Structure 1
Amino acid sequence: MLKRLFKIGPGAMVAAAFIGPGTVTTATLSGAKFGYTLLWAVAFSVLATLVLQEMAARLGLAGDRGLGEAIREKITGKWSRLFSGLLVIGAILIGNAAYEAGNITGAVIGFNSLSQTANWMVNPLIPGLAVVAFLLLYSGKYKLIERSLILMVATMGIVFLWAAFMAKPDWWSILKGFFQPQIPEHSLLMVVGLIGTTVVPYNLFLHAATVREKWNGPEEISDARFDTILSVILGGIITASIVITSAVVLHSSGTEINNAYDLASQLTPFMGKSANWFIALGFLAAGLSSAITAPLAAAYATSGLMGWQSNLQAPNFRAIWIFVLLSGLVFASWGFKPISVILFAQVANGLLLPIIAAFLLWTMNDRQLMGRFINSPLQNGLGFIILFITLILGIKSIITVF
């Protein structure tokens, strides 16, 4: 067990990707508006993530391919390959551009409240964050990137779990929230957002690629599973902690919020004056971790689908993540309200998820590719149930919007 703890990596990178400012914002709004009621959606999203990410990791190790490469190989027709490539690349690039702007702007929300930088013509925190992400990615060193992201996940875990503990929640109500599913009036988009903030489509590409950087073949699938289970469950606990904290300090008092950082001011009675700095640190870790993983995942997905080299130091690979990072920096500098950009990205990914999950399921049932590591009937059953539920939620969210 202890040996395996030192081997974690790709799963933690997945957790770092989905615990971004989007998670913090959506979970805070969920707790503020609906209390503990939507905790079941967090639990479902963790289960869905475990099922799909395990498939992605198995594809990388047993199939020795990234998801993008596998899709490219399976679709051989000229026009169908062009269509599917544009569909998936477009979805990943659009989603990640929205995420990247939200990651960068969301990360500095806390420090804006603690300084005067928000009033400057150009907030120096925004390009500063982008530069840190750029330097880590440009290093081309997988282990450095992996360890940096693990540190950020650990920071978020300490911050948000401690905040939930200090808020003194109602544990019976928490259990009811997890095990008595409800969709209150006007909560459907929030449910889709909670699922979309955890079951992130681009993570399927990221995971299938990074397990190949970490491990060597199918004999290490058990290590990859342990890494996935531990990391995703920890990520789900962090998300649930934010919902719980918000339910205690915002929902019970009926406080209206403008952004997720309003949570910090309401925590002052529980944590003292340090609450602002403490929560700001959590936001910084959330934003920086996702600002690194979003461009990285876009590069893996696009390179695989285009048949390019998926190497951290390859020129085409670097060009893709630089494009995504730069797009996020430009949009963030326009001064959009972070909450609007982030929620758009969350809902968009909730709608796009069924398309990419269907590609994964199709690929995992290719015996020629996967051999004896093909999906079992149980894995297929769980996969199709998750696919069906996310599809229904996506359709309902469109109807609700229009």
Structure 2
Amino acid sequence: MNKETAINGKSLSEVHASIDASNKKGWRKILAFLGPAYLVSVGYMDPGNWATDIAGGSKFGYSLLWVLLMSNLMALLLQSLSARLGIVRQLDLAQASRNTYSSGVNYALWFLAEIAIAACDLAEVLGMAIGLKLLFDLPLIWGVTLTVLDTLLILLLHNYGMRKIELFIISLVAIIGSSFLIEMILAKPDLGQLVTGFVPHLPNDEALYIAIGIIGATVMPHNLYLHSSLVQTRRIAATEQGIWAAIKYNFIDSFVALNAAFFVNAAILILAASTFFQAGMYEVSDIMDAHKFLSPILGTEWASMLFGIALVAAGQSSTITGTLAGQIVMEGYLNLRIAPWLRRLLTRLIAITPAYIVILHFGEEETGSLLVFSQVVLSLQLGFAIIPLIHFTGDKEKMGQFVIKPWVKIAAWIIAAIIVSLNVKLVINEIQGWLADAGGDAWILWLTVVPVCASAFILLLYITVKPLIGKRKSEKESRIPHGVSTVLELKEAEVFKRIAICIDFSDIDAQTIRSALAQGGKNANYILLHVVETAGAMVYGQEIRDMESNKDANALSHYSQQLIDKGYRVETQIGYGNPKRTIPKMVKSFNADLLVMGAHGHTLVKDLILGTTVDTVRHRVTIPVLIVQRS
């Protein structure tokens, strides 16, 4: 096992190496690797992108198309670095950062990453709500509230595995792309003017603000964390040839998926330029206005309907990837894992708060400005993800022969310099404007906003120079697959002497007990464990004497007596309350050296409320855990 992953745990462990890509040939091998970049690509076509693209197209025509193209090229290079990090070192970006920087720096980076994810989620909340309003005339405030319920969809898709999630996302991407292809045909853009839009220039400072929003909406920081983890869902041969093949096929995946995202973004900007800008409607930066004006300008109701359908698809697809990115960031930086539905709910509640404030206080017409602002916030976070990524993939000692080439590193640093310099210029311009507007109250900004921005800039400088001047003492060596076999150190098979067996009185009990007995035979000591989960047990613990606890104790004794009659040394113990906390305590008190658990029979609703007991318990004990599936 890679020493780094042994310390940090597998990224997205529930789907790690769940798709076999090692033994595929020809087109089947390409298909095996296709998927991760499509999950990443939806972040490049979420409702936040729509807002910046519409604003850019209506205000400046085709003149910001070059920004989209530049952003796409930046994204392709950076996402390829992200994929390479995950493939070679078997670490996601957050885990690699935790190995390199001090705990204080990692907490700061985690906080900034969470801000980026919340800003992204804000765009998805507003986009979904706007899409529902456009299609069903649902009030925006109700649409925002309904978006909380998509946590159920996340949980449902997780139960079906990563491949099903990828197919669902690809289907939504196909809906978005098809809708805008038809919109493009209806709009009939001026091809001559369209070509001039790829010549780099910025008309004014407002164009800079929109351009930075486009960059933030395209090169999204949370996607770098996401991609470095998703590539690890493919099980590959840990050889030199296998690693290079994975890098190649993941680049193909990124190239196809990100160019599809570029087409969608370009189509939105071109649509806005060829309709609103040409009609002299330069202030159409709001998605709802765009939807309202499309049908009269293009002469068909289908234009607005397709726009609304694509918007809902974009919002829903992005919300899934945002949840995965949040899980990766929290686990990687903090080594903290919570149930996916809870993670999703917390992120969504953070996102809907500003949405509620803006809608209730300023009105629905201000949601367009909020969308653009959310994408600018994303751009401001980019440097904190890009700079560590370049350091990690450019480290010869860690990456070995898979280290990025010098020209790639130079190109990546140029991209980082462009993004950081644009962001610094924007921040300075904005602060100067706020100070001028504040007048006599400017001192408040000097005591709050200015120190925060200065601290962020110092942090950025620190993470830039830290890997160059020294390494963290506790950083562990990573295993770089090199394709050479080693001498196997084989020892006698471990014999377990004290085995704990979890019993839940379901049809899997017999299979669980048989599996445990096979590990220790008649020379081991066994303990049968069961936890009473009634409401009374949750409150009164072992003092409870209700019907279920008595019935469970008798049933456990029945199991025990049967085993004793067959010559096994067995004892029993009943626990009370939350099994995720109680089982590890009982296992420790017995001093067990092996825990055997049956895969539980929870329903979807019980999973939603309690989470999965097996998954939590195995992270809270320090001994091997044998999980028995139903045959």
**TM-score, with length taken from structure 1:** 0.90
Aligned to 2:404: 375
Aligned to 1:200: 220
Q: What one-letter code is carried by the residue in structure 1 that aligns with 2:398?
A: L
**Superposed displacement of residue 317, structure 1:** 5.5
For residues 281-296 of structure 1, the aligned pairs below 5 Å read 281-296=309-324
CA distance in 1, matches of 2:412, 2:183: 34
1:54 to 80, 83, 105: 80
Structure possessing the higher radius of gyration over alpha carbons: 2
2:333 to 289, 305, 318: 305
Q: What one-letter code is carried by the residue in structure 1 that aligns with 2:51?
A: T
The alignment status of 1:102 with 2:123, answered yes or no, reads yes
**Superposed displacement of residue 45, structure 1:** 0.3
CA distance in 2, matches of 1:317, 1:63: 25
Contact 2:323 2:340 in 1 (8 A): no
**Superposed displacement of residue 215, structure 1:** 4.3
Aligned to 1:113: 134
CA distance in 1, matches of 2:259, 2:173: 12
Aligned to 2:248: 222
**Superposed displacement of residue 225, structure 1:** 0.8
Aligned to 1:142: 162
For residues 100-179 of structure 1, the aligned pairs below 5 Å read 100-118=121-139, 122-123=141-142, 125-137=143-155, 139-140=157-158, 141-178=161-198
Q: What one-letter code is carried by the residue in structure 2 that aligns with 1:246?
A: A
The alignment status of 1:264 with 2:291, answered yes or no, reads yes
CA distance in 1, matches of 2:148, 2:235: 29
CA distance in 2, matches of 1:63, 1:25: 37
Q: What one-letter code is carried by the residue in structure 1 that aligns with 2:219?
A: V
Contact 1:10 1:214 in 2 (8 A): no
CA distance in 2, matches of 1:73, 1:355: 16
The alignment status of 1:366 with 2:364, answered yes or no, reads no
**Superposed displacement of residue 117, structure 1:** 2.2
**Superposed displacement of residue 139, structure 1:** 4.3
CA distance in 2, matches of 1:44, 1:164: 21
Shift in alpha-carbon separation, 1:264–1:131, aligned structure 2, 3 A: same
The alignment status of 1:386 with 2:386, answered yes or no, reads no
**Superposed displacement of residue 116, structure 1:** 4.0
CA distance in 2, matches of 1:283, 1:11: 20
**Superposed displacement of residue 392, structure 1:** 1.1
Q: What one-letter code is carried by the residue in structure 1 that aligns with 2:91?
A: R
Aligned to 1:78: none
CA distance in 2, matches of 1:5, 1:254: 46
Q: Which segment is superposed worse, 256-265 or 29-38? A: 256-265
CA distance in 1, matches of 2:235, 2:290: 40
The alignment status of 1:250 with 2:276, answered yes or no, reads yes
Aligned to 1:350: 379
Shift in alpha-carbon separation, 1:99–1:320, aligned structure 2, 3 A: same
Structure number with the higher helix fraction is: 1
Tell me the secondary structure at the aligned position of residue 197 of structure 2. Answer: helix
**Superposed displacement of residue 115, structure 1:** 3.7
Tell me the secondary structure at the aligned position of residue 253 of structure 1. Answer: coil
Shift in alpha-carbon separation, 1:371–1:346, aligned structure 2, 3 A: same
- Count of matched residue pairs: 388
Contact 1:354 1:391 in 2 (8 A): yes
**Superposed displacement of residue 296, structure 1:** 1.7
Identity of aligned residues (%): 27
Q: What one-letter code is carried by the residue in structure 1 that aligns with 2:291?
A: A
**Superposed displacement of residue 213, structure 1:** 1.3
**Superposed displacement of residue 34, structure 1:** 0.2
Q: Which segment is superposed worse, 293-302 or 26-35? A: 293-302
Q: What one-letter code is carried by the residue in structure 2 that aligns with 1:380?
A: K
**Superposed displacement of residue 8, structure 1:** 1.7
Tell me the secondary structure at the aligned position of residue 175 of structure 1. Answer: helix
**Superposed displacement of residue 66, structure 1:** 0.6
Supply the RMSD in Å over aligned alpha carbons.
2.1
**Superposed displacement of residue 126, structure 1:** 3.0
**Superposed displacement of residue 82, structure 1:** 2.3
**Higher relative contact order (Cα pairs below 8 Å, separated by 6+ residues):** 1
Structure number with the higher strand fraction is: 2
Aligned to 1:341: 370
CA distance in 2, matches of 1:366, 1:341: 39
CA distance in 1, matches of 2:137, 2:82: 44
Contact 1:72 1:304 in 2 (8 A): yes
The alignment status of 1:332 with 2:355, answered yes or no, reads yes
Shift in alpha-carbon separation, 1:190–1:307, aligned structure 2, 3 A: same
2:111 to 90, 95, 114: 90
Structure 2: tracts of 5 or more residues without a match:
1-25, 360-365, 432-631
The alignment status of 1:181 with 2:200, answered yes or no, reads yes
Q: Which segment is superposed worse, 66-75 or 363-372? A: 363-372
Aligned to 1:274: 302
Contact 1:60 1:211 in 2 (8 A): yes
CA distance in 1, matches of 2:340, 2:107: 17
